Structure 1
């Protein structure tokens, strides 16, 4: 399977288990790997035959800047669900959501959750 990478997307959201996170918000980063058959767009050089990276960004933004949730796991799940719903050409998606500087005891650069989901998952 061919892969398209959309990496280093940055957003500001109000997600977290603590009230302060929901009130103040924080940065979130996302990396998405789309598994698809890129043979046709490779031949046609036509954007209509593949995924538009700007539309992928908007789909991820909708989740990460949208309705607050408590867990990074939930955000990651919802991004995968959103991508598979919006892009019929995508057979599977890997999503990594990173929360830099989490407000937890100790010193952490970041926490992240990465998942991979295949077509059919978006309806579950």
Structure 2
């Protein structure tokens, strides 16, 4: 499987548990690696056959900039769900950073890997 990636997508959002964090926008940074078979797009040279990283970025900017999560964990799960379901990506790795959250660190954050869930035929 090929990987389509977006590196250092910066989005301002309301995020955090402290009162002051609920009053200001903080810049978050996202790196995404998304599994995608690029052979059809390579053969056709048509965007319809590709994973359109601009569309993915635009959707995440719209979602995150309008959100008001308290925890990065909640935001990260929603981001993964959006990419997996709305863009038919089979697997992704998301690195979500919150620069400045700990003064002594360049950034803190999460690294998640998620894949599409296939229904269990036994219903379990």
Q: Which TM-score band applies after superposition, normalised by the shorter structure?
A: 0.7 to 0.9
Give 1:110 shift.
0.8
Asked whether the 8 Å contact 2:11–2:61 carries over to 1, the reply is: yes
Match of 1:18 in 2: 18
Q: How many equivalent residue pairs?
A: 118
Q: Counterparts of 1:70 and 1:12 in 2: how far apart (Å)? A: 14
Match of 1:85 in 2: 85
Ranges of 4+ aligned residues in structure 1 off by more than 2 Å: none
The TM-score normalised by the length of structure 2 is 0.87
The secondary structure found in structure 1 opposite 2:51 is coil
Give 1:64 shift.
1.9
Q: Counterparts of 1:108 and 1:17 in 2: how far apart (Å)? A: 19
> Root-mean-square deviation (CA), in Å?
1.5
User: What pairs with 1:67-106 in structure 2 (closer than 5 Å)?
Assistant: 67-88=67-88, 90-102=89-101, 104=102
User: What pairs with 1:1-124 in structure 2 (closer than 5 Å)?
Assistant: 1-88=1-88, 90-102=89-101, 104=102, 107-120=104-117
Q: In the TM superposition, what whole-angstrom CA distance separates every residue of 1:45-97 from its partner, at most 9, and x where no partner exists? A: 11000111211101211332122111111111111111112112x11111111
